[in-house]
Chain A
Amino acid sequence: MAADDLCLLEQIVARHGNDASKLLQILREVQECFGFIAPAAVNSLAESLAIPRARIESVASFYSFLHLTPHGEYRVLFSDNITDRMLGSQDLMAQMCQQLWLQPGKVSEDGLVSIGTTSCTGMCDQGPALLVNGRAITRLTHQRVMEIGQLIRNRTPLADWPADFFRIENNVRRSDLVLGSTLLPGVVLQIALALGGQHVVDSIKTSGLRGRGGAGFPTGLKWEGCRNAPGSEHYVVCNADEGEPGTFKDRVLLNLQPDLVFEGMTLCALAVGAKKGFLYLRGEYRYLLEPLQAVLQRRRDDNLLGKSILGFPGFDFDIEIHLGAGAYICGEESALIESLEGKRGVPRNRPPFPVTHGYLQQPTAVDNVETFCQAVLALHIDAEKYRAIGTEKSSGTKLISVSGDCPRPGIYEYPFGVTVREVLQDCGAVNTRAVQISGPAGVCLGESEFGRKLGFEDLPTAGAFMVFDDSRDMFEVARNFVHFFAHESCGFCTPCRVGTSILKQTMDKIAAGHGTRYDLNEVENLDRVLQTTSHCGLGRSACNPVLHTLKHFRPAYENKLKSLDFEPAFDLDGALARARQMTGRDDAGAHLKAEGI
């Protein structure tokens, strides 16, 4: 490693106070600075952070956006959500590969560029999308992809690419309480400080606010649990690792209402007695980092963060932004905390829950971006009034991320209790065959269920709402989701690591025309294993896309199946072709008959 590079490396480490718990942030910056994490860099980091090489490599190899080998000066990753595919992302990727003489997943021989796919980048309302060196480019067309190819071939620095490429739309289509809020920063905090922490907790409990990340845990109970848990420090964590394919509401909230988010975190800090908070921002939203830091700085300047907030002695609180690096599992709160601590994002055993044993084993309140915004507004409009919005068990409003086959994709904010059909009408969807609620882990609804209501009583959701019209093959939708789970399984527990891969192979087998009824039964058996033995929710929900689409769209599967009970998973004779070619044999023994049983 050159002396200059070493110097840069030392600066990065020094900026993070030589703290090994900041390893992920350090690795991210090394990656951003050098394009990959070289062995020499690993050595140097091991020395300056006084941790073993193996720990650094294990963390670096866990996250999709970190590379231990060169991955090209330009690293292009096409978002591979089903909504991107429906908008033609696969053709566009093939076009770029052809233009740059490249195979997907490989680095060009001159080390210039690599092209691959990544899980949903949260740009479903303006896809197809890609990331180039971590920066998002949306609204891809053949023209735009060709221009990108030329910029790469000319080695044009990313900073000189047309600014329009990087423009991200908010696409807010329906505003209510949160998106329509014009609340000034600090107003609610002032009220809260007058009330005191216990009163804030009580109000949030009265408001009936429940977590907006999908699970719907009562926020007031969580804050109370955290407040009462013994610990030397308490922490507030905002989960902005919005990785559920088809969800992008947090991106819009962080862009349009960052003050609500930070005010909510500060409110929570007051309620639980925290001095420090983290915003865990998914790596795909890297472009939001600087604007968010500017907001944090403004809030510090206005005494809304820092020491003695709003002149209240003893109320000290500040927020740090941590960036993820491409790992869906880090949206699970205990995996997120592991990641915050600079480790692999493997979910912890629960209990104990983060509320008592979270960041650094201290009491930690982890809430979704939207939950913090809702908490501020619940307090502002009064808890009782807030409770009156929505339905009995789901108070307040919900941001829905609509994408897929509809003319007006984007963000829709509704009071809870809105029906699927109303959302479909508002977004202009016609001939709708199915709606996927809450991402691949959620539920797939057929037309007969469009009268169901979004809310914790009926359809709990983190916000994803993907629309599929009657031109779509629901088998391919499920297959895309199954591939997603296999890719994102963290690998810690065997049932999920192996099970998601088996499921993927089964779906690929059916897609290749080798599937039988036996395979469908096997999916149900596999689901039972994953449901009962997986370490976390990822494995438990991995079979959902198949089971739900099977329930409503069985013909989409059946017309791909052979009529036999069993078929080999691959073409037996074809598997000998390579050996025949190498040995020059073509006798009877050099062939295999396909035999179904």
Chain B
Amino acid sequence: MSKKLRIATTSLAGCFGCHMSILDIDERLFALLELVEFDRSPITDIKHCAPCDIGIIEGGICNAENVHVLHEFRKNCKILIAIGACAINGGLPAQRNHLDLSSCLTEVYLTEPGLAHGHIPNDPELPLPLDKVHPLHEVVKIDYFIPGCPPSADAIWKFLTDLIAGKTPELGHGLIKYD
């Protein structure tokens, strides 16, 4: 049998809903594991990406750390897939885009009582937020998009099995949805 494909997954500015949908492929996971190995992923708890065949990313880009992770994925993955509404359009986190970041931080940490002792957290450990939330394809090249909030397990299954079989993935009627 040929070498198993390596897959890495991560969630950036997302809710892990797309990962839940990946888990929703249920017992087909066993079939999948015959064909692939998971690298960096919440499933394995591996912290950094080794060279992989496929990277799957949920969520948009809201802070500096997201950018670093995304770069790491792009450098290591031959094929990068944006999964779900947030990765493709920014989604719910991007609702803050019409607000000015300064006034957001001021409102949360300075104006409202009882948070962070009245100063904006500035520990170097914390990633700085970007002034806007961006979809993945505005930061690196993305090869494929799986829309949906979240995409159904069937859509993910179809997409991955097509890809693994070496075909151009195609989500037909009923599997593509935008909400």
Instruction: Give me the interface of A with B, judged by CB distance under 8 Å.
Output: 494, 498, 518, 565-566, 568-570, 572, 575-585, 587, 589-590, 592, 595, 597
* Residue B170 at the chain A interface, CB threshold 8 Å: no
Instruction: State whether A576 and B130 are in contact (beta carbons under 8 Å apart), knowing that A589-B64, A590-B124 are contacts in the complex.
Output: yes
Select which of B71, B129, B134, B178 is within 8 A of A570 by beta carbon: B134
Contact B124 A494 (CB under 8 A): no
Q: Which residues does chain B contribute within 8 Å of A565, judged by CB atoms? A: 141
Select which of A575, A576, A581 is within 8 A of B102 by beta carbon: A581
Q: Ordered nearest first, which 3 A-B pairs have the shortest CB separation?
A: A569-B138, A583-B122, A566-B141
Q: How far is the CB of B80 from chain A (nearest CB, A)?
A: 10
Q: Which residues does chain A contribute within 8 Å of B74, judged by CB atoms? A: 597
Contact B71 A584 (CB under 8 A): no
* Residue B115 at the chain A interface, CB threshold 8 Å: no
Contact B101 A572 (CB under 8 A): no
* Residue B131 at the chain A interface, CB threshold 8 Å: yes
A579–B138 alpha-carbon span in the complex (Å): 20
User: Can you spell out 28 A-B residue pairs with CB atoms less than 8 angstroms apart?
Assistant: A494-B178, A498-B89, A518-B141, A568-B140, A569-B134, A572-B67, A572-B139, A575-B132, A576-B129, A576-B130, A576-B131, A578-B102, A578-B131, A579-B128, A579-B129, A580-B128, A581-B102, A582-B105, A582-B106, A583-B120, A583-B128, A584-B122, A585-B122, A589-B124, A589-B128, A590-B124, A590-B128, A597-B141
A587–B140 alpha-carbon span in the complex (Å): 24
Contact B140 A597 (CB under 8 A): yes
Interface residues of B in 128-179 (CB under 8 A from A): 128-132, 134, 137-141, 178
Residue of B100, B128, B140 contacting most chain A CB atoms (<10 Å): B128
Instruction: State whether A576 and B141 are in contact (beta carbons under 8 Å apart), knowing that A582-B120, A584-B122, A592-B67 are contacts in the complex.
Output: no
Contact A583 B71 (CB under 8 A): no
Q: Which residues does chain A contribute within 8 Å of B118, judged by CB atoms? A: none
A569–B100 alpha-carbon span in the complex (Å): 19
Contact A568 B138 (CB under 8 A): yes
Q: How far is the CB of A462 from chain B (nearest CB, A)?
A: 33
Contact A577 B134 (CB under 8 A): no
Q: Which residues does chain B contribute within 8 Å of A568, judged by CB atoms? A: 138-140
Beyond A575-B132, A589-B128, 12 additional contacts (C-beta under 8 Å) are A494-B178, A566-B140, A568-B139, A569-B134, A576-B130, A578-B100, A582-B106, A584-B122, A585-B122, A590-B124, A592-B67, A595-B71
Q: Chain B: interface residue count, which band?
A: 20 to 34
A578–B130 alpha-carbon span in the complex (Å): 8
A498–B75 alpha-carbon span in the complex (Å): 29
A566–B139 alpha-carbon span in the complex (Å): 9
Q: Which residues does chain A contribute within 8 Å of B139, judged by CB atoms? A: 568-569, 572
B110's closest neighbor in chain A, by CB?
A582
Instruction: State whether A582 and B64 are in contact (beta carbons under 8 Å apart), knowing that A565-B141, A572-B139 are contacts in the complex.
Output: no
Q: Which residues does chain B contribute within 8 Å of A578, judged by CB atoms? A: 100-102, 131
Q: How far is the CB of B163 from chain A (nearest CB, A)?
A: 18
**Main SS at interface, chain B:** mixed
* Residue B42 at the chain A interface, CB threshold 8 Å: no
A422–B106 alpha-carbon span in the complex (Å): 64
A587's closest neighbor in chain B, by CB?
B124
Q: Which residues does chain B contribute within 8 Å of A592, judged by CB atoms? A: 64, 67
Contact A582 B102 (CB under 8 A): yes
A580–B126 alpha-carbon span in the complex (Å): 12
Q: How far is the CB of B118 from chain A (nearest CB, A)?
A: 14
A568–B74 alpha-carbon span in the complex (Å): 13
A580's closest neighbor in chain B, by CB?
B128
B75's closest neighbor in chain A, by CB?
A597
Contact A579 B141 (CB under 8 A): no
Q: How far is the CB of A105 from chain B (nearest CB, A)?
A: 13
Q: Which residues does chain B contribute within 8 Å of A494, judged by CB atoms? A: 178
A587–B128 alpha-carbon span in the complex (Å): 11
Contact B105 A576 (CB under 8 A): no
A583–B123 alpha-carbon span in the complex (Å): 9
Q: Which residues does chain A contribute within 8 Å of B106, judged by CB atoms? A: 582
Contact B134 A579 (CB under 8 A): no
Q: How far is the CB of A39 from chain B (nearest CB, A)?
A: 22
Q: Which residues does chain B contribute within 8 Å of A590, judged by CB atoms? A: 64, 124, 128
A585–B178 alpha-carbon span in the complex (Å): 39
A518–B139 alpha-carbon span in the complex (Å): 13
Q: How far is the CB of B91 from chain A (nearest CB, A)?
A: 13
Q: Which residues does chain A contribute within 8 Å of B105, judged by CB atoms? A: 579, 582
Q: Which residues does chain A contribute within 8 Å of B141, judged by CB atoms? A: 518, 565-566, 597
Q: Which residues does chain B contribute within 8 Å of A582, judged by CB atoms? A: 101-102, 105-106, 120
A591's closest neighbor in chain B, by CB?
B64
Q: Which residues does chain A contribute within 8 Å of B64, judged by CB atoms? A: 576, 589-590, 592
Q: How far is the CB of A27 from chain B (nearest CB, A)?
A: 26
Contact A589 B127 (CB under 8 A): yes
Q: Which residues does chain A contribute within 8 Å of B102, judged by CB atoms? A: 578, 581-582
Select which of B71, B100, B124, B131 is within 8 A of A585 by beta carbon: B124
A272–B89 alpha-carbon span in the complex (Å): 49
Q: Which residues does chain A contribute within 8 Å of B131, judged by CB atoms? A: 575-579
Q: How far is the CB of B119 from chain A (nearest CB, A)?
A: 9
A564's closest neighbor in chain B, by CB?
B141
Q: Which residues does chain A contribute within 8 Å of B132, judged by CB atoms? A: 570, 575
Select which of B75, B121, B140 is within 8 A of A583 by beta carbon: B121
Q: Which residues does chain A contribute within 8 Å of B138, judged by CB atoms? A: 568-570
A577–B120 alpha-carbon span in the complex (Å): 15
A494–B122 alpha-carbon span in the complex (Å): 41
Residue of A575, A576, A584, A590 contacting most chain B CB atoms (<10 Å): A575
Q: Which residues does chain B contribute within 8 Å of A583, judged by CB atoms? A: 120-122, 128
Contact A585 B128 (CB under 8 A): yes
A595's closest neighbor in chain B, by CB?
B71
A100–B178 alpha-carbon span in the complex (Å): 44
Q: Which residues does chain B contribute within 8 Å of A580, judged by CB atoms? A: 128
C-beta contact mask, B40-77 vs A, less than 8 Å → 1, else 0?
00000000000000000000000010010001001100
B100's closest neighbor in chain A, by CB?
A578
Q: Which residues does chain B contribute within 8 Å of A518, judged by CB atoms? A: 141
Q: Which residues does chain B contribute within 8 Å of A570, judged by CB atoms? A: 132, 134, 138
Residue of A518, A568, A577 contacting most chain B CB atoms (<10 Å): A568
B140's closest neighbor in chain A, by CB?
A597
A584's closest neighbor in chain B, by CB?
B122
A518–B143 alpha-carbon span in the complex (Å): 11
A570–B135 alpha-carbon span in the complex (Å): 11
A584–B124 alpha-carbon span in the complex (Å): 11
A592–B120 alpha-carbon span in the complex (Å): 20
B138's closest neighbor in chain A, by CB?
A569
Q: Which residues does chain B contribute within 8 Å of A575, judged by CB atoms? A: 130-132, 134
Q: How far is the CB of B106 from chain A (nearest CB, A)?
A: 8
Q: How far is the CB of B49 from chain A (nearest CB, A)?
A: 15
Q: Which residues does chain A contribute within 8 Å of B100, judged by CB atoms? A: 578
